[in-house]
Amino acid sequence: MSDGYENIRIEHAGALSWIVLDRPDRANALSPALMDEFADALERLKGEGGPVIGLRGEGKGFCAGIDLADYGSGDTGPADPMADRARLQGNVERWLAMWDHPKPVIAAVHGYCIATAAQMCVFADITIVADDARIGEPTIPIGGGFVAPTWVSLVGAKRAKEFAFVPGNWIDGPTAVEWGWANHCVPAADLLAAVASLADRIALTPPEVLRLKKLSINRAAEAAGFRHALSGIAEIDALLHLAPAVIEIRTRMAERGLKAVIAEYKVPPTTPLVAPVKE
């Protein structure tokens, strides 16, 4: 526990104030409690801590996305699309709090970075990935139109579609840089030091100047459509959750278990893209 938090912790180290996702026993999955603590930490760090915020995960990976245990992954009862839409929109607004934050936010990604976690990092100002990173789509296709649209401004529509159309698709660290999703890929052992070094150099710019530089660049991105692209993703995802095909998958999840259904969708990733071997 740190600063009254149970699912995250804040660490101050020189120019950086880290927000650490701290549920390694649950792959740092984004539970409602963690999301609330994350929002609170961002608000607190507006007025305290270093001039740069870092975001990382504890344990073997960055984050496995939304915690399905908290969102009824096997629940096949009557759906409430308005509640679903509100939940999804709440996620987007939490990420926009990074985008709109007065301080630069650097995401440090190692290991797995899945589904909503891969959306989350889009809203950081800079993303540094380890060479062991696997940035992936949800393995089970029960949602859609929520994660990949946020990628379009970074990687383009065609790559976002390639990423999204294959269940459980993923890209590695070097590909994330090649596509424009991340700024740099470094050896996993050097990830935190690389982020700290970058934060020290950023901190040479006065905070007031940093704030206006960030605002100016954000406005340019928004003029190109970044914020407008977010306007309908919660509705589209909530609508898809009511589709008969999705309800059928959720029924299988309830009957057979999550791991068994995940195994049905294990396929080769986008990287490296190779033709299937002919026997």
pLDDT band at 237 (very low <50, low <70, confident <90, very high): confident
Nearest to 106 by CA among 201, 223, 221: 201
Average pLDDT, the chain: 90
CB 79, CB 29: distance < 8 Å: no
The pLDDT assigned to 81 comes to 82
Q: Tell whether 277 is covered by a domain.
A: no
Q: Tell whether 2 is covered by a domain.
A: no
Q: What is the pLDDT of residues 241-273, one digit of tens each?
A: 888 888 898 888 888 888 888 888 877 776 655
> How far apart are alpha carbons 72 and 133 in whole angstroms?
28
Nearest to 265 by CA among 278, 243, 249: 249
Q: How far is the first Cα of the chain from the last one, in angstroms, to the nearest whole number? A: 55
Contacts by residues 245-252 (CB-CB < 8 Å, ≥ 24 positions apart): 246/141, 246/142, 246/143, 247/76, 249/140, 249/141, 249/142, 250/73, 250/74, 250/75, 250/76, 250/142, 251/76
Strands 134-136 and 170-172: antiparallel
The least confident of 46-60, 66-80, 124-138 is 66-80
Q: Tell whether 1 is covered by a domain.
A: no
Q: Tell whether 183 is covered by a domain.
A: yes
Q: Tell whether 124 is covered by a domain.
A: yes
The pLDDT assigned to 112 comes to 97
Q: Tell whether 156 is covered by a domain.
A: yes
Q: Tell whether 83 is covered by a domain.
A: yes
Q: What is the pLDDT of residues 176-223, one digit of tens each?
A: 999 999 999 999 999 999 999 999 999 999 999 999 999 999 999 999
Structural domain count of the chain: 1
Q: Is pLDDT at 15 greater than 80 in this prediction?
A: yes
pLDDT band at 74 (very low <50, low <70, confident <90, very high): very low
Domain that holds residue 196: 8-263
> How far apart are alpha carbons 37 and 208 in whole angstroms?
26
Q: Is the pTM of this model over 0.85?
A: yes
Q: Tell whether 73 is covered by a domain.
A: yes
The pLDDT assigned to 178 comes to 96
Q: Domain holding 113: CATH number? A: 3.90.226.10
The pLDDT assigned to 73 comes to 47
Q: What is the pLDDT of residues 115-133, one digit of tens each?
A: 999 999 999 999 999 999 9
Q: Rounded mean pLDDT of 86-96?
A: 90
